[in-house]
Amino acid sequence: GAVFYFYFAEGEGNKLNISGKLVKLREKKPLVHNMTNVVVTNFTANGLLAIGASPVMAFAKEEVADMAAIAGALVLNIGTLEKDLIDSMIIAGKSANENGVPVLLDPVGAGATTFRTEQAKRILSEINVNVLRGNAAEVANVIGEEWSIKGVDAGEGSGDVIQMAKKAAQQLHCTVVITGKTDVVSDGDQTYLVNNGHPLLTSVTGTGCLLTSVIGAFCAIHEDHAEAALSALVTYGAAAEQAAALAEAHGTGTFQIEFLNQLSKITANEIEQMADYSHETAA
Ligand code: ATP
Ligand code: TZP
Ligand code: MG
Ligand code: MG
């Protein structure tokens, strides 16, 4: 229809075409294979459905290679890890790598325990991870920098998250997304800062985990993973802003549901109006 044409036409003069990627995602409905934690499994599946992707959760060693091979993206999340589960993630990751399926890693709680940090590093050493997404503390710990962490929350830390994202991207040869009040995306060459979002996102468990899976859905339909992550972050943050405007007076439970509503309802036009980001190219 007319709206459709307008966005692609506009995109010709706007290389990043943030909202055009959401339109494509909703058309293609990519399958996202999630090996995620027991806390967020249902929320992740509903959030992916809301945005227009097709979620599947599969963990068994006997099937993960086959599932990853047919997926548009594979998301590995160590939130409630066990040794056997990580072994299964390695099998899935190798299959994704062999089949050209993008692999995302959410190193939930890296730095909180030695086991988490070691297993996150093991995944990064045995698999070609395309996108690493975590809070500042998690990313710092994965690349061996000092940053305090309390459980799975970021905790107090200081440091330049922009420099850390660039350093991590160069060191790990992947796209790195560090989230917080301002989100940073870097592939070591192109760097984006995103200001969309709302503090209520920090009061609902699984909003980071779902975000990693949503970035996976965008990576399934766009091969520049830094650009895919940028579109995902703007869309996600803008949906949260709309949800907060409608639900903030009611509290976090209503916000959680309204956020799913807004992931499903946000339009390309609203995203273009609300997008709040900047772009820096390496000199
Ligand atoms: P943490 O355990 O530190 O909460 P997380 O894995 O839940 O980490 P977040 O950093 O909370 O991940 O990111 C999830 C989403 O919440 C992102 O879209 C991010 O932009 C948003 N967000 C986080 N903190 C804020 C904030 N203070 N203001 C606005 N948006 C935020
Ligand atoms: N404990 C282990 S995993 C998990 C908790 C509370 C969920 C963390 O989700 P998020 O997205 O990092 O807030
Ligand atoms: Mg959070
Ligand atoms: Mg998290």
Instruction: Chunk the chain into consecutive blocks of 10 residues (it has 283) and report each block's average pLDDT, rounded to whole numbers.
Output: 38 75 98 98 99 98 98 99 98 99 98 97 98 96 76 57 94 97 96 97 98 99 98 98 98 98 98 96 69
Nearest to 18 by CA among 242, 280, 281, 279: 279
Determine the pLDDT at residue 10.
Answer: 41
Query: What CA–CA distance (Å, rounded) separates 235 from 275?
Result: 8
Q: Indicate which ligand has the atom closest to the C-alpha of 206.
A: 2
Determine the pLDDT at residue 15.
Answer: 73
Within its chain, how far is the Cα of 224 from the centroid? 14
- Choosing from 77, 142, 195, 202 the residue with most ligand 1 atoms within 8 A of its CB, the one to mutate for a pocket test is 202
Pocket lining: 277 vs ligand 1, CB cutoff 6 Å? no
Atom of ligand 2 nearest to the CA of 38: 3
Q: Indicate which ligand has the atom closest to the C-alpha of 210.
A: 2
Domain ranges of the chain: 2-281
Q: What are the backbone dihedrals phi and psi of residue 100, each rounded to the nearest 5 degrees, phi first?
A: 70, 25
Pocket lining: 237 vs ligand 1, CB cutoff 6 Å? yes
Q: What are the backbone dihedrals phi and psi of residue 122, each rounded to the nearest 5 degrees, phi first?
A: -60, -45
Express the helix, strand and coil content of the chain in percent, nearest 5 each: 55, 15, 30
- Choosing from 105, 113, 209, 215 the residue with most ligand 2 atoms within 8 A of its CB, the one to mutate for a pocket test is 209
Determine the pLDDT at residue 153.
Answer: 54
- Choosing from 207, 236, 259, 276 the residue with most ligand 1 atoms within 8 A of its CB, the one to mutate for a pocket test is 207
Determine the pLDDT at residue 157.
Answer: 53
Atom of ligand 2 nearest to the CA of 40: 7
Which CATH number does the domain 2-281 belong to among 1.10.12.10, 3.80.10.10, 3.40.1190.20, 1.20.140.10? Answer: 3.40.1190.20
